[in-house]
Chains A and B, each alone.
Chain A
């Protein structure tokens, strides 16, 4: 099946710094989704991307759908403590429109 490679696996940053993470796939995706998961909770949808080259923002978050349709990145500007968590990229590729998830980027913010 389709695989998503997400990097970096973890990030240790200072509060106020910008963050960038990316996701690549072995095959073309028609949709890219970015989720954030806090400990013990379900993932929350941050941004959805539908077109190659699309750049979409949600507050301090910006994500882009790569032109090749095989990659996407998520940027977080001016990080704050509540940004801590695990960020997952995902795309359709599971059975019957289920999602395939990347392995996640664990964001840790040092005060």
Chain B
């Protein structure tokens, strides 16, 4: 599988500020990474697909201008939560897919970033 790291592991910020979360694939070059969000006691929900060298694609209902994604290299994707508000407080988790033939059969997740917006 892939080893995935995230930084920071937790962050507390004031309402209106922006927060950047990094996702790194430590042992696998990933042209695609995924970003998920998990609210307390709920399941993971896909937010967006991060594509190296091209724009990210966002799921319905996810604001692309609020959640900026940059896939800077084959090992790094960043998610920036702009003008954060308390309702953005959540657990943000990235994943690296591994598969063949264009089909991503297995995804390996980072440890997550806990965002708390005051």
Contact = CB atoms under 8 A, between A and B. Distances in A.
A43 B44 contact: yes
A45 B99 CA distance: 14
B97 A97 contact: yes
A50 to B, nearest CB: 7
Interface residues of A, number: 24
Contacts, number: 70
A60 B8 CA distance: 34
Given A95-B59, A100-B46, A45 B112 contact: no
Contacts of A35: 109
Interface in B55-99: 57-59, 91, 93, 95, 97, 99
B25 interface: no
Contacts of A41: 111-112
Contact of A96 (B57, B105, B112): B57
A98 interface: yes
A41 B48 CA distance: 20
Interface in A34-90: 35, 40-45, 48, 50, 88
A104 B106 contact: no
Nearest to A100: B46
B44 A101 contact: yes
Nearest to B42: A103
Interface in B1-30: 1, 4, 6
Contacts of A100: 46
A95 B46 contact: yes
A95 B57 contact: yes
Given A35-B109, A88-B43, 11 more contacts: A41-B111, A41-B112, A42-B110, A45-B107, A45-B109, A48-B105, A94-B34, A95-B58, A96-B57, A99-B107, A103-B42
